[in-house]
């Protein structure tokens, strides 16, 4: 039985707290509880809610120890997403505590909770001023805590109120306080740049401080400020240069080099003084950090010109040693500087091709991503095949990294190639092959095979832009390289015939179908290709369907004019085309609707003419429709030429295509051509001195590994004839394991066989597709076969002659200025920047970046002048008011009559005359008052 006078549990706890005994949960207890209740999210949430309610009660307590413990736990819970702004005033109470540990907790919580709260910061201003006062030796750490907390919660208003106290602390006798003050001023200057302008000399005087830590802090702050706005620190260049010469601390040297990097970007004159000193520093030091920063200062500070080969070689030799280091971080930053030097002049890095080839096979993928950007600086006609082969192998090879464990046992870890890196590989291969109008490509048959391999790889990559780029390359080959059009059109048909290409990589079809339609004369029989495209077209995208419609019409017109005697097949194909176009007349795409309706009406008229005219061939199919497409041969033109064409050209819609006389001439010419049995569509315009290839049989084409008879060498040995003979053995091994390799006819293990295009799901004999019919070239080119085969045997061991590549034609239009041409040019986006468009920017914009220190002085002078004008204006107004008051006093004349004294009669008339004189003087003054008032009102 307890006594009535026994103390309660609460009384016992209150008595023991002054001695350091607490019965509430501490931060360690909170962390243990979170770990023990972390089984399910619901359980953790319930526990945190309970702890949050306890912290609310403890924060309202009058005991400062209990309140501090609650604030500390709330600061930890804030990282879990719980808002603690409701206890800002409790945080102020903890900040005002005289105990150092409690004050430290308060400033920590303030840095996470205040968040530009104007009301709380207004109350905290006086507290900060009080804590920043240094009275005795015990206040050193208190001042340091206050300065650290100030830098996290500073605002423009708070900085304006506290900046004078901070500059007074720069004269403190304690180096620790001076150093902490300099670092705190960095955040103050960012929010309130006027303080830097008005106290610039006082702040920069710390560069000559006797304590090295204060000098280091000042240089670091100036270096960071120069990243935002380097203009005001140019005047410090002589002093900073002297420090760089005399100092022997590597850390301060690194900060000075970073600072000079920022300053030399806007002051080119610094190069003459700095460059010799930096080169001397590079020769005298062995510290890797100083060497790297010296090279970075030369490159990023715009001190390296295109003609400075000696300086560039010295920098590249240092980076070459860094790239051979075991430190992956050092290799990465060296690759970054290599790329910057290559952007200045690609000839600088051309001799480091072996190093770059080694880096693109590094175990670190991030280093590969940087090294792959250096390839355009070393690529040439001699090493292009080796580079492409090395990159393509990374798609299919199972690479491993050998790592040694702590026990000395080596362990193989597979290298995972991310999809972003694979996308960049395809992008870089296309870029380096197409550089300078295919100047580095000596064998376009090989390049066609590479494009086919990249297409196979891109089918599994989730990047639709790759299809567009590959399609553009195939289209460019058809336009620019006439001698290789036969091989290129074979490659295009193979790509178009791939299974599910219209679903996995639909963007490639636009360029392929355009090429098939534009150069349809290279195919002898297009009926099989028409059936294939009619089957794939409904599954294509809207943007591709508009191109497909035009390509189908071109293919049909070319094929039907070559086979005018096959009326039944022509009619069957024409009916399928009309039915296909009728289904697109109600497409969701307006462009597809417009094109399909136009072609539908034209082909419908052609079908009616074909049915009515049983004897001959309709003129609509033989002359009118072909004239839409075959009037001119397309040639490459410079970018922006179409923008120079004059606008506002009027067209007469009612004007017929042909007059009666012209129609009679066409009919006569048609009869003469029919008698001579000449095909009017095999014109010399399409007769090219190119290699003719018979196309592969069904089995060979489905295997994708060989051609039939005379054409089997094409698309074989994709990465053959390397200059380095040691690569041939590895290449033969790669042929057996590489599923993307276009191998030999005996290669039966190819894992990526192209599905036979004959299998289109139609059992009827009429609709069956023969691959030999699709892949058969025009008869005009077949005559060259024997000559080409004879030349092959003679020139087999000789180097292949480079084919002619058509360059862009510049069309000069009178009356067009050069500004129009410049506007038509589009800047080329390198592959290094293609993946950086979605990069997150974490930089915070500050007022210092927009602050102009030069104009600010002029603005202050103008403000002072305006203030003086206002003062003089106010003074003049005061003078006018005084004058007006005087005038008003003069107008209001008060006449005080005194009592008359008894005087002699002699004096009476004289007094009377004076009185009359006074009355005559006051009368005009009184009468003038209403006139003045009326004038003011008017």
Q: Which residues have CB under 8 Å from 353's CB, separation 6+?
A: 378, 383
Find residue 413's DSSP bridge partners. 401
Rounded CA-CA distance 70/82 in Å is 14
Task: Tell me the chain's radius of gyration from C-alpha atoms.
Answer: 44
| Short-list 91, 93, 94, CA closest to 113 | 91
| Short-list 527, 447, 432, CA closest to 480 | 447
Quickly count: other Cβ atoms within 10 Å of residue 6's Cβ: 8
Using left for φ > 0, alpha for ψ between -120 and 50, and beta otherwise, residue 817 falls in beta
Q: Three-state SS for 613? A: coil
* pLDDT above 80: residue 250: yes
Instruction: Locate 106 and state its tokens.
Output: 């308060």
pLDDT of residue 824: 44
Find residue 410's DSSP bridge partners. 404
Let me know: does 286 contact 274? Beta carbons within 8 Å.
no
Percent of the chain topping pLDDT 90: 31
Rounded CA-CA distance 548/583 in Å is 14
| Short-list 280, 318, 284, 312, CA closest to 298 | 312
Let me know: does 739 contact 692? Beta carbons within 8 Å.
no
Let me know: does 211 contact 170? Beta carbons within 8 Å.
no
Q: Which helix (H) or strand (E) holds 401?
A: strand 400-404
Rounded CA-CA distance 701/502 in Å is 19
Dihedral in degrees, nearest 10, Cα atoms 480, 483, 489, 494:
-110
Residues in the chain: 938
| Short-list 455, 461, 462, CA closest to 493 | 455
| Short-list 791, 775, 772, CA closest to 691 | 791
* pLDDT above 60: residue 20: no
Rounded CA-CA distance 799/780 in Å is 28
Look at the block and give the residue holding tokens 């009037």.
631
Q: What count of Cα atoms within 13 Å lies in the side-chain half-sphere of residue 247?
A: 25
Let me know: does 61 contact 71? Beta carbons within 8 Å.
no
Least confident of 479-483, 506-510, 558-562, 614-618: 614-618
Instruction: Locate 718 and state its tokens.
Output: 């994709």
Burial of 907 from C-beta contacts in 10 A (0-12 / 13-18 / 19+): exposed
Give whichever of 314-318, 631-635, 659-663, 782-786 has the largest mean pLDDT: 314-318
Rounded CA-CA distance 25/771 in Å is 81
Burial of 351 from C-beta contacts in 10 A (0-12 / 13-18 / 19+): exposed
pLDDT digits 0-9 by tens, 645-669:
776 666 677 777 777 888 788 777 7
pLDDT of residue 866: 75
pLDDT of residue 18: 59
pLDDT digits 0-9 by tens, 770-804:
444 455 555 444 444 444 444 444 444 444 567 78
| Short-list 464, 471, 453, CA closest to 551 | 471
Let me know: does 120 contact 92? Beta carbons within 8 Å.
yes
Let me know: does 226 contact 262? Beta carbons within 8 Å.
yes
Instruction: Locate 313 and state its tokens.
Output: 């070689």
pLDDT digits 0-9 by tens, 54-80:
999 889 988 888 899 999 999 999 988
CA distances to 8, 865, 917, 933, 938 from 925, rounded to whole Å, are 96, 42, 14, 13, 21
Rounded CA-CA distance 121/162 in Å is 12
Rounded CA-CA distance 100/75 in Å is 18
Give whichever of 250-254, 850-854, 871-875 has the largest mean pLDDT: 250-254
| Short-list 276, 275, 281, 280, CA closest to 304 | 275
Rounded CA-CA distance 493/722 in Å is 28
Rounded CA-CA distance 261/227 in Å is 9
Least confident of 258-272, 432-446, 495-509, 888-902: 888-902
H-assigned helices in 563-624: 567-584, 590-612, 619
Cα 43 to the center of its chain, rounded Å:
43
pTM surpassing 0.75?
no
Instruction: Locate 932 and state its tokens.
Output: 């003045």
Rounded CA-CA distance 265/396 in Å is 45
Segments of 461-530 assigned E as strands: none
Quickly count: other Cβ atoms within 10 Å of residue 13's Cβ: 16
Let me know: does 427 contact 388? Beta carbons within 8 Å.
no
pLDDT of residue 65: 87
Q: Three-state SS for 637? A: strand
pLDDT digits 0-9 by tens, 137-173:
668 888 999 999 998 888 888 999 999 999 999 988 8
Pairing of strands 410-414, 400-404: antiparallel
Least confident of 201-210, 279-288, 409-418: 409-418
Q: Which helix (H) or strand (E) holds 413?
A: strand 410-414
Find residue 401's DSSP bridge partners. 413
Q: Which residues have CB under 8 Å from 652's CB, separation 6+?
A: none
Rounded CA-CA distance 246/240 in Å is 10
Instruction: Locate 352 and state its tokens.
Output: 């480091």
* pLDDT above 80: residue 921: no
Let me know: does 64 contact 97? Beta carbons within 8 Å.
yes
Let me know: does 97 contact 106? Beta carbons within 8 Å.
yes
| Short-list 115, 119, 91, 117, CA closest to 105 | 91
Rounded CA-CA distance 566/574 in Å is 12
Measured CA angle at 447 (ends 446, 451), to 5 deg: 120
User: Is residue 885 very low, low, confident or very high in pLDDT (cuts 50, 70, 90)?
Assistant: low
| Short-list 547, 560, 482, 466, CA closest to 512 | 547
pLDDT of residue 809: 76
Look at the block and give the residue holding tokens 């053959």.
720
Rounded CA-CA distance 815/645 in Å is 10
Phi, psi at 692, each rounded to 5°: -100, 140
Look at the block and give the residue holding tokens 């033969």.
732
Rounded CA-CA distance 501/458 in Å is 10
User: Is residue 917 very low, low, confident or very high in pLDDT (cuts 50, 70, 90)?
Assistant: very low
Phi, psi at 511, each rounded to 5°: -70, -35
pLDDT of residue 491: 92
Quickly count: other Cβ atoms within 10 Å of residue 694's Cβ: 17
Look at the block and give the residue holding tokens 């004007």.
655
Let me know: does 719 contact 389? Beta carbons within 8 Å.
yes
pLDDT digits 0-9 by tens, 178-215:
999 999 999 999 989 899 988 999 999 999 999 999 99
Using left for φ > 0, alpha for ψ between -120 and 50, and beta otherwise, residue 642 falls in alpha
Rounded CA-CA distance 789/734 in Å is 29
Mean pLDDT over residues 573-586, rounded? Answer: 90
Q: In whole numbers, what is the pLDDT of the chain averaged over residues?
A: 76
Q: Three-state SS for 809? A: strand
Instruction: Locate 812 and state its tokens.
Output: 């000069």
């Amino acid at each position: 039985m307890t006594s009535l006078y026994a103390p309660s549990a609460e009384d016992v706890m209150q008595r023991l707290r002054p001695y350091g005994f607490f019965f509430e949960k501490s931060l360690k207890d909170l962390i243990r509880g979170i770990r023990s209740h972390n089984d399910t999210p619901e359980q953790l949430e319930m526990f945190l809610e309970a702890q949050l309610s306890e912290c609310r009660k403890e924060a309202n307590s009058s005991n400062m120890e209990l309140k501090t413990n609650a604030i500390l736990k709330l600061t930890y819970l804030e990282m879990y997403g719980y808002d603690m702004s409701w206890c800002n005033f409790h945080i102020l109470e903890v900040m005002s505590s005289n105990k150092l540990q409690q004050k430290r907790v308060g400033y920590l919580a303030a840095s996470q909770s205040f968040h530009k709260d104007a009301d709380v910061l207004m109350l905290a201003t006086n507290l900060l001023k009080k804590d920043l006062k240094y009275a005795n030796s015990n206040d050193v750490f208190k001042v340091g805590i206050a300065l650290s907390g100030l830098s996290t919660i500073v605002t423009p208003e708070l900085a304006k109120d506290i900046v004078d106290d901070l500059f007074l602390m720069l004269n403190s006798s304690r180096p620790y306080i001076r150093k902490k003050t300099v670092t705190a001023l960095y955040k103050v200057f960012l929010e309130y740049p006027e303080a830097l302008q008005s106290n610039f000399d006082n702040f920069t005087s710390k560069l000559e401080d006797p304590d090295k830590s204060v000098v280091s802090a000042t240089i670091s702050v100036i270096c960071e400020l120069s990243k935002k706005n380097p203009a005001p620190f140019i005047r410090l260049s002589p002093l900073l240069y002297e420090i760089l010469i005399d100092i022997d601390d590597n850390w301060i040297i690194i900060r000075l080099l970073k600072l000079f990097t920022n300053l030399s970007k806007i002051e080119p004159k610094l190069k003459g003084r700095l460059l010799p000193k930096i080169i001397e520093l590079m020769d005298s030091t062995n510290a890797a950090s100083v060497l790297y920063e010296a090279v970075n200062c030369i490159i990023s500070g715009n001190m390296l010109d295109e003609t400075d080969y000696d300086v560039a070689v010295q920098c590249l030799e240092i980076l070459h040693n860094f790239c051979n280091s075991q430190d992956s971080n050092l290799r990465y930053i060296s690759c970054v500087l290599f790329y910057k030097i290559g952007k200045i002049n690609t000839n600088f890095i051309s001799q480091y091709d072996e190093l770059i080839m080694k880096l693109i096979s590094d175990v670190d993928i991030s280093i590969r991503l940087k090294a792959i950007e250096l390839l355009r600086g070393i690529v040439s006609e001699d090493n292009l095949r080796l580079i492409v082969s090395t990159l393509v192998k990374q798609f299919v090879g199972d690479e491993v990294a050998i790592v040694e464990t702590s026990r000395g046992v080596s362990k193989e870890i597979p290298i995972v190639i991310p999809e972003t890196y694979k996308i960049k590989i395809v992008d870089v291969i296309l870029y380096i092959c197409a550089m300078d109008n295919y100047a580095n490509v000596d064998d376009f048959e090989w390049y066609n095979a590479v494009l086919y391999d990249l297409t196979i790889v891109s089918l599994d990559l989730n990047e639709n832009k790759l299809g567009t780029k590959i399609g553009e390359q195939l289209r460019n080959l058809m336009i620019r390289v006439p001698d290789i059009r036969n091989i290129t059109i074979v490659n295009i048909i193979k790509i178009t015939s791939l299974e599910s290409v219209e679903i996995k990589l639909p963007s490639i079809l636009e360029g392929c179908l355009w090429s098939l339609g534009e150069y349809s004369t290279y195919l002898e029989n297009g009926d099989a290709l028409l059936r294939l495209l009619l089957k794939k077209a409904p599954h294509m995208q809207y943007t591709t369907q508009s191109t497909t419609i035009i390509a189908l019409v071109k293919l049909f017109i070319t094929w039907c004019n070559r086979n005018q005697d096959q009326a039944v097949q022509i009619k069957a194909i024409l009916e399928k085309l009309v039915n296909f176009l009728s289904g697109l007349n109600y497409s969701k795409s307006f462009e597809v609707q417009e094109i399909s309706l136009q072609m539908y009406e034209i082909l419908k008229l052609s079908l009616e003419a074909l049915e009515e005219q049983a004897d001959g061939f309709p003129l609509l199919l033989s002359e009118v429709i072909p004239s839409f497409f075959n009037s001119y041969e397309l040639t490459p033109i410079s970018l922006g030429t179409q923008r120079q064409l004059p606008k506002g050209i009027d067209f007469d819609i009612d004007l017929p295509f042909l007059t009666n006389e012209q129609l009679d001439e066409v009919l006569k010419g048609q009869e003469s051509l029919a008698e001579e049995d000449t095909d009017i569509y095999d014109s010399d315009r399409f007769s090219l001195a190119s290699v003719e290839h018979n196309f592969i049989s069904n089995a060979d084409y489905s295997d994708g590994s060989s051609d039939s008879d005379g054409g089997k060498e094409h698309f074989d040995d994709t990465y053959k004839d390397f200059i380095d003979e040691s690569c041939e053995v590895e290449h033969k091994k790669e042929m057996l394991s590489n599923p993307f390799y276009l191998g030999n006819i005996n290669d039966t293990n190819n894992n990526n066989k192209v599905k036979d295009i004959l299998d289109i799901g139609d059992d009827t004999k009429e609709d069956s597709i023969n691959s030999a019919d699709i892949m058969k070239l025009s008869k005009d080119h077949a005559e060259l076969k024997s000559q080409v085969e004879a030349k092959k045997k003679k020139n087999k061991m000789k180097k292949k002659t480079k084919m002619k590549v058509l360059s862009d034609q510049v069309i000069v239009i009178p009356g067009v200025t050069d500004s129009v041409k410049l506007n038509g040019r589009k800047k080329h986006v390198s592959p290094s920047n293609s993946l950086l468009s979605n990069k997150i920017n974490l930089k915070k914009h500050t007022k210092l970046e927009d602050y102009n220190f030069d104009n600010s002085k002029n603005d202050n002078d103008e403000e002072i002048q305006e203030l003086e004008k206002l003062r003089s204006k106010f003074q003049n107004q005061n003078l006018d008011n005084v004058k007006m008051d005087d005038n008003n006093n003069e107008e209001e004349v008060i006449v005080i009559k005194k009592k008359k004294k008894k005087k002699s009669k002699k004096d009476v008339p004289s007094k009377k005359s004076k009185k009359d004189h006074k009355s005559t003087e006051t009368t005009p003054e009184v009468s003038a008052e209403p006139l003045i008032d009326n004038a003011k009102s008017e």
